[in-house]
Amino acid sequence: MTFKGVILVKKGANMLRVLQIVPYYPPHFGGIEQVAYDISECLKEHSVEQTVLCYSKGRSLRKEVFEGVSVFRVGVVAKVWSQAIPMHYKKVLEDVLSERDPDIIHIHLPNPIATCYLLLSMRKDKKKRKIVVHWHSDIIRQAWLMPFYSPFQKRMLSICAGIIATSENYANYSKYLKPFRSKITIIPNVVDGEKYQSLGLDYNQDYYERKDFVFFVGVHRKYKGLEYLIEAARRLPSRQFIIAGNGPETNKLKKQARYLHNVRFVGSVSEQDKCKYLRCARVFAFPSITKNEAFGLALAEALYFGLPAVCFDIVGSGVGWVNQNGKTGFVVPNRDVGAFVASIERLFSDDDLFTRFSQNAHDWVAESMNRNVLWSGVVKVYGIQSIQGEEY
């Protein structure tokens, strides 16, 4: 099986076996889950035998096949500070290691409970397996947990064969990753252009026309900084702002915007409607303010659709790498609403600038955040033997 010139070599008569450990897995989608799914899709193209271990939305253990992938969903009894508290996780993990016998264990972090149980299981496991850590974010909101969890996290980073970080920015600024810099491979998250084409939502379809509105889509959480976007709308009464998504901050944001006639909340939107908004808007606003926003997949999707973006500068986050300042949009000082407003207005008032940024944005994401980039990085970090020009 080939993938842009890279061909996997079978291990004798056996297929390469990969276990992904992830908090959740589709059909439950989130940022980490999307990355795990994208990796799974690449592995399928190479006939790799793969398994996923994740948490379930219910209390019972479920073993199922999802789009050709064996998925073990461990029941959860509660959630504490966003961490699922699973039932019998260690037992299920050990059974999966025994039954599925993976050569490579690809664990997506942060996931404290899974990290601890994997370390315990590996002490009993007689087979030497390669562990790959996919570092999506430092633990920030639950920083109080770190004195207890830090030794386990450090141990996992010490014994793993490789670490995937989603941007140079995050790899360079994470204090937890600095001692392990030699292990790090940068693999940005993927924007799947082929998926949009299959939905009839190709980036350059002519029948879409840009309208004069600012668009945001995402979960309404505190770190998303949406109060600054509402303030920007108050200062730009002649510009329309459309805010998609829902979350714990939604009601508070609606109260803040209750006297603003240029702000419209549209709630959760379908994939098709989201893409249509991205294709029709004039500016994508991405006002996240903390490192909880480690990459910004929604930001990358907007740029893919040729929608220039305005975001805040977050030290140590990949957001300022995804949105290339002065090339695909503007990156302004964190929480500086005045600079945010001025940048939005520039993209409305300068058609030549908008056109240049729009083309740059699409080209940047299409070339830098695609499946080929993902797979070449996975081949490197997995240490998969590959040859050129010969299939098995």
Q: What is the pLDDT of residues 335-375, one digit of tens each?
A: 999 999 999 999 999 999 999 999 999 999 999 999 999 99
- Domain positions in the chain are 2-190+370-386, 193-368
Return the CATH architecture of domain 2-190+370-386.
3-Layer(aba) Sandwich (3.40)
How high does pLDDT run on average in the chain?
90
DSSP codes joined into one string, 211-248: -SEEEEES---GGG-HHHHHHHHHH-TTSEEEEE---T
Give the pLDDT band of residue 202 (cuts 50, 70, 90): low
Residue 307, C-beta contacts closer than 8 angstroms, at least 6 positions apart? 215, 278, 279, 281, 282, 283, 284, 358, 361
Q: Report whether pLDDT(275) > 80.
A: yes
Q: Which segments of the chain does DSSP mark as H helices, in order?
A: 31-45, 89-100, 112-124, 146-159, 168-173, 193-198, 226-235, 250-256, 271-280, 297-304, 319-322, 337-349, 351-368, 371-382
Q: Report whether pLDDT(193) > 90.
A: no
Highest mean pLDDT among 54-58, 103-107, 189-193: 103-107
β 62-66/76-80 pair status? unpaired
pLDDT, residue 6, reads 39
Percent pLDDT > 70 in the chain is 91
Is-contact 238 212, C-beta < 8 A?
Answer: no
Give the pLDDT band of residue 126 (cuts 50, 70, 90): confident
Q: Where does 193-368 sit in CATH, by number?
A: 3.40.50.2000
Q: Which segments of 257-389 does DSSP mark as H helices, in order?
A: 271-280, 297-304, 319-322, 337-349, 351-368, 371-382
Q: What is the pTM of this model?
A: 0.88
Q: Report whether pLDDT(331) > 90.
A: yes
Domains 2-190+370-386 and 193-368 share a fold: yes
